[in-house]
Amino acid sequence: MQWLRRNLVVIAGLLTLAYLILPNIIVMVFSFNKPAGRFNYAWREFSTDAWRDPCGVADLCGSLTLSLQIALWATIGATVLGAMIAFALVRYRFRVRGTINSLIFLPMAMPEVVMAASLLTLFLNLGAELGFWTILIAHTMFCLSFVVVAVKARVMSMDPRLEEAARDLYAGPVQTFLRVTLPIAAPGIAAGAMLAFALSFDDFIITNFNSGNTVTFPMFVWGSAQRGTPVQINVIGTAMFALAVLIVAGGQIVTNRRRKRALPQ
Amino acid sequence: MTDKQAGGDVRLSGISKTYGSFTAVHPLDLTVPQGSFFALLGASGCGKTTTLRMIAGLEEPTTGTVRLGDRDVTALPPHKRPVNTVFQSYALFPHLNIYENIAFGLRRRGIKSVKKQVDDMLELVQLGDFAQRKPHQLSGGQQQRVAVARALINHPQVLLLDEPLGALDLKLRRQMQLELKRIQTEVGITFVHVTHDQEEAMTMADTVAVMNGGRVEQLGAPAELYENPRTTFVANFLGTSNLLEAEVVRNTDGEVVVTVGGGKLRLPAGRCPDATATGGKVLVGIRPEKISLAPAADVDAVPAGRNSVTGRILDSSFIGVSTQYVVESPAGKGLEVYAQNVEHRAGLEPGAEVVLHWNPEHTFGLDAAQAIDAGVETVGETP
């Protein structure tokens, strides 16, 4: 009883962690499965077949490449535009600033399916051909709000005197931005960019409405789930998960090493 | 970078700054001689920081010009002025280590081999072991020294210091005052120091300009300002003054005689406003440490020729080196007297009847048209 009381926080933490990670573990484990039929829902035997041939399913790797491309471009577009909006909102006083500040939240608050339908209406009325470009425009649009919010928080906490100090120390406007403003705002911009990438990569609803005949990875998974779930889907999922963990762990190691080096002997 | 021999004075002419309808700095003429330690002293919002920022180029003057030596730099952006600033909160770059913070200015000017200069500068501010640390890993005093080093390494014509010691505790502040003074003497660069701390200004600066409401009230050496304040603001803001409302009885032979609360006081005409005339009003001032205190019974022992008023001790506080008395008198309420604790003196307890006396030479006169308590409450206020 005593022991339980002392370790309650740890136990609660571990249980929550398990709750979070269990689905990922299932995905991972079943990527090594060799299912009997077309559905990868029951464990049969260990196999690395799917790992040795990840593109073995028709159209899977094509849709994956497309999704990565869209996510990359949407991230770049949303990050550049969002960072600029965030700087403008924090640094400058102009007439419609308050309005823009609230309008930025609109895409986040709007139900996604409503947004998706409205976008489709808009694209059809404009006579736009549905496909790569309509998906990219839609993704950039809904990622923008998240980038703005992430960067704004960072820029708001920045001391404007740092830039004054840079100007005072012979840095022109461009140098000040590159050497001081950007590096200090970088964590906020990076957070916004990562969020944008994740949101765009696995978006289904808006993409489904506005894609025409184009098939992204989430749509491929959805489509194939009607007929059967290839193990390769789990392989891709596991690979993405592992990549994300590697990036986070790598970042952590670099920070730790830097901190250690900076500390006294 | 610029030739520092020929007239490196900072000259502000007719410089002013208005924000909408608010005037932060009224047209101002100021010359800071090359190589001097110059302090701009005033309460928060008096325009001292705005003046400093106009010299740095971070604020554009509404009118007037800024000259460094013979060069008009009014239109130059901050990065093109041979002037560097130590900011109030230091503004060290958090993403760069101490070494790179200090090297920043040199690198921006395209200087490739910075190592020797940076090492020398780290040595000057005694932070050699901290080169690889980040600013947040340093104490306040150390950060302050980095801020000074980062500015000084560029050998500016003028170093601007904006309340550089404001964030430090008292003991460290005293120590840094001496250190800054040492560095200034060592490098010989003109320092313009903005502060609200009158003691700091007087300890460090050769010349102090006291600012109030966007104007320079008085400018001079610290002792000169302290002994001969020309306005009630300066009299009250720099140290403490007893100011008494008096009526002029006579102004002859370089001596002014006034009546205060029924008694007569004398003071040198040279220390009175020019327009002091018989029958007019004048504010008579005397510093608390110039006054001697004696029990009323010893009134006969007061040497002849001294100014004296009677009173009753309201309160006394023992400070250590001195005792501070508050005395109520027909001449004025709440007169302050500081007496050195040389030996214990009987008969100077609260409630005791006393005589206050002082050398008439130590009395100064001020124009009676001013508010008598200007500058009183602002003392010790933090920005």
Residue A162 and residue B79: Cβ atoms within 8 Å?
A: no
Question: Mean pLDDT of successive 10-residue segments in chain B (383 residues)?
Answer: 57 92 91 92 90 93 92 92 92 94 93 91 88 91 91 92 86 87 88 92 93 92 93 91 90 87 87 80 92 88 88 91 91 89 81 91 90 69 42
Establish if A131 belongs to a structural domain.
Answer: yes
> Where in the sequence is the domain holding B30, given as residue range(s)?
10-227
**B85 vs A168: CB contact, 8 Å cut-off?**
yes
Q: pLDDT value at position B278?
A: 81
Q: Are residues A127 and A238 in the same domain?
A: no
Do B84 and B197 fall into the same domain?
Answer: yes
In a domain, B187, yes or no: yes
Contact in structure between B164 and B40 (CB atoms under 8 Å):
no
Q: Identify whether B374 is part of a domain.
A: no
- Distance from the B372 Cα atom to the nearest Cα atom in chain A, whole angstroms: 38
Q: Which of the four pLDDT bands, split at 50, 70 and 90, describes residue A105?
A: confident
Task: Please give, rounded to a whole number of angstroms, the shortest distance from the CA of A9 to a CA of chain B.
Answer: 32
| A241 lies in some domain | yes
What pLDDT sits at residue A185?
92
- Residue A204 within a domain: yes
Total domains in chain A come to: 2
Nearest residue to B133 via CA among B120, B151, B145, B116: B145
CA B59, CA B194: separation in Å to the nearest integer? 15
- Residues B178, B248 within the same domain: no
| CATH (domain of B166) | 3.40.50.300
Same domain for B41 and B150, yes or no, is: yes
With an 8 Å Cβ cutoff, are B93 and A168 in contact? no
Indicate if B151 and B262 belong to the same structural domain: no
Q: Are B150 and B255 contained in the same domain?
A: no
Residue A44 lies in a domain: no
- The model's confidence at residue A262, banded by pLDDT at 50, 70 and 90, is low
**Same domain for B352 and B326:** yes
Q: Please check whether residue A164 touches B, CB under 8 A.
A: yes
* Residues A211, A125 within the same domain: yes
Task: Please tell me whether residues A102 and A177 are part of one structural domain.
Answer: yes
Q: How far apart are CA B101 and CA B134, in angstroms?
A: 9
What digits encode the pLDDT tens for the residues A110-131?
999 999 999 999 999 999 999 9
- Give A46's DSSP letter: B
Residues β-bridged to residue B259: B247, B264
Domain membership flag for residue A46: no
Q: Which residue of A has its CA nearest to B160?
A: A168
Percentage of residues in chain A with pLDDT exceeding 70? 98
Same domain (yes/no): B177, B313: no
Find the CB nearest B94 among A176, A179, A184: A184
B173 and B277, same domain (yes or no): no
Give the bridge partners for B256, in sequence order: B251, B267
Identify which of A169, A262, A264 has the shortest CB distance to residue B108: A169
Residue A55 covered by a domain: no
Residues of B in contact with A265 (CB under 8 A): none
A153 and A252 share one domain? no
Nearest-by-Cβ selection for A162 from B83, B93, B97: B93
Do A159 and A214 lie in a common domain? yes
Residue in A93, A157, A163, A169 to test binding to B, most B beta-carbons within 10 Å:
A169
Overall number of domains in chain B = 2
The answer to whether residue A182 sits within a structural domain is yes
Q: What is the largest CA-CA distance in chain B?
A: 79
pLDDT for the residue numbered A265: 40
Q: Count CB pairs under 8 A between chains A and B.
A: 74
On whether any CB of chain A is under 8 Å from the CB of B42, the answer is no
> Among B162, B194, B227, which residue terminates a domain?
B227
Which pLDDT does position A94 carry in this prediction?
86
Specify the length of chain A in residues: 265
Task: Give the CATH number for residue A159.
Answer: 1.10.3720.10
Sort out which chain B residues have CB atoms less than 8 A from A261's CB and list them.
Answer: 132
Contact between B105 and A172 using a beta-carbon 8 Å cutoff: no
| Alpha-carbon gap, residue B187 to B179, rounded angstroms | 12
Shortest CA distance from B58: residue in chain A:
A164
Q: Are residues B255 and B277 both part of a single domain?
A: yes
- Asked whether residue A180 falls in the same domain as residue A245, the answer is no
What is the pTM assigned to this prediction? 0.79
Say if residue B102 is in the same domain as residue B244: no
The whole domain housing A121 covers 62-219
Is the same domain home to B255 and B205? no
Does the CB of A174 have a partner CB in chain B at under 8 Å?
no
Cβ pair A165:B78 closer than 8 A: no
Res. A237: pLDDT tops 70: yes
Contact list, A184 vs chain B (CB under 8 Å): 93-95
DSSP-based three-state secondary structure for A76: helix
Clarify whether residues B48 and B122 are in a common domain: yes
Q: Is residue B93 part of a domain?
A: yes
- Residue A77: inside a domain, yes or no? yes
